[in-house]
Amino acid sequence: MKIVADTNIPFLKGVLEPFAEVIYLDGRAIDREAMLDADAIIIRTRTKCNADTLAGTRVQMIASATIGTDHIDLPWCAARGIEVRNAEGCNAGGVADYVFSALYGTASRHSIKLNGATIGIVGVGHVGKIVERMARSLGFRVLLNDPPRAAREGDAAFVGLDQLLAESQVITLHVPLDSTTRGMASEAFFEKMRPGAIFINAARGEVVDESALLHACPKLGALVLDTWCNEPDVNPNLIEVCDVATPHIAGYSYQGKQNGTAMAVQAVARHFGIEALLDFAPQTENEALKPVSVNLQGKTQGEIAAILQYNYPIFTDDFLFRSNPGSFERIRSEYNYRREFYID
């Protein structure tokens, strides 16, 4: 059996070698030629899986150590019996940590009061649910928009997008990228937002119309972007107007990467019947890398901001990227994974 794997997936090297020939390549170099005689591939979002790359190969299993699947042509794979598994929810905690470190950090820099503010969460899946829980714990009024969930569960817990945009002082996107969400943050979207609202996108870059966002920037209270159109070739003009700009690393927590790799290896193990790896999970004895809980009850906004920055100094990531936007991929591949924190 032969497996081709993205060399930037952590905790993977040496795990599958007792059971298969494993070839490691940069994600962008995993092309049709590399896949030709592979039985499985283990990838991130940088590897495109469609007819152009997969046709004529012997790939029967794709395991993505990431949440999103927009880099994979799912209908094409399904029609040809290629099993696809993603690491759904693996880095949700890390993304939620990113949101609140960025939110309190930018609010402090702009003297924006968050006490009693309304936060609008667009997309309430794995990440959105954790953002919701943390927001309620911090005393925010929370508005939720998730049409697929509302259709399944009823409208009681959700509001329409127009209401969310009109009433929220903070708007954070956590939707998947698909035909219903591509470009959803459009000119009309930003026109409906409250003046002075904070806008955060740690979902996918293409859910935002970047031209519309640039036009709307003067009315925003703060702008936080972790995901961009045309990554890694991001728009430098957009970086300049951001309060926090980072190279798609919101989910780069140590726990998120452990989860993503574990879920990918377990998926391969189930497909090929490798019993020794069915429960595989990377471990660490390093206490400094284990998640911590933080008690923010009764703390002032300034104290909360300081505690969150201590646990995740987000402006360091912003500085590294802003200083050299061309280092987008290098920062990602060399990132020093941070531990997650939980709000009591």
**Do residues 168 and 118 touch, judged by C-beta distance below 8 A?**
yes
Q: What is the pLDDT of residues 174-224, one digit of tens each?
A: 999 999 999 999 999 999 999 999 999 999 999 999 999 999 999 999 999
- The residue ranges of DSSP E strands in the chain, in sequence order, are 2-6, 21-25, 40-43, 61-64, 83-86, 118-122, 141-145, 170-173, 198-201, 222-225, 244-245, 292-294, 341-343
Fold held by 2-86: Rossmann fold (3.40.50)
- Model confidence at 283, in pLDDT bands (50, 70, 90)? confident
Q: Give the E-state strand segments of 261-314 in sequence order.
A: 292-294
The reported pTM is: 0.90
Written as six digits, the tokens of 95 are 């993304």
Q: Which residues pair with 222 in a beta bridge?
A: 198
> pLDDT tens digits, residue range 132-176?
999 999 999 999 999 999 999 998 999 999 999 999 999 999 999
* Domain layout of the chain by residue ranges: 2-86, 92-250+296-343
Residue 171's SS3 state is strand
Where helices occur in 168-253 by DSSP H, the ranges are: 187-191, 210-216, 236-241
- How many Cβ atoms from other residues are within 10 Å of residue 20's Cβ? 17
Tell me which residues are annotated as active site. 204, 231, 248
Alpha-carbon gap, residue 342 to 130, rounded angstroms: 10
- What is the distance between the alpha carbons of residues 94 and 92, in angstroms, rounded to a whole number? 6
pLDDT single digits (tens) 213-223: 999 999 999 99
> Which CATH topology does 92-250+296-343 take?
Rossmann fold (3.40.50)
* Domains 2-86 and 92-250+296-343 are alike in CATH topology: yes
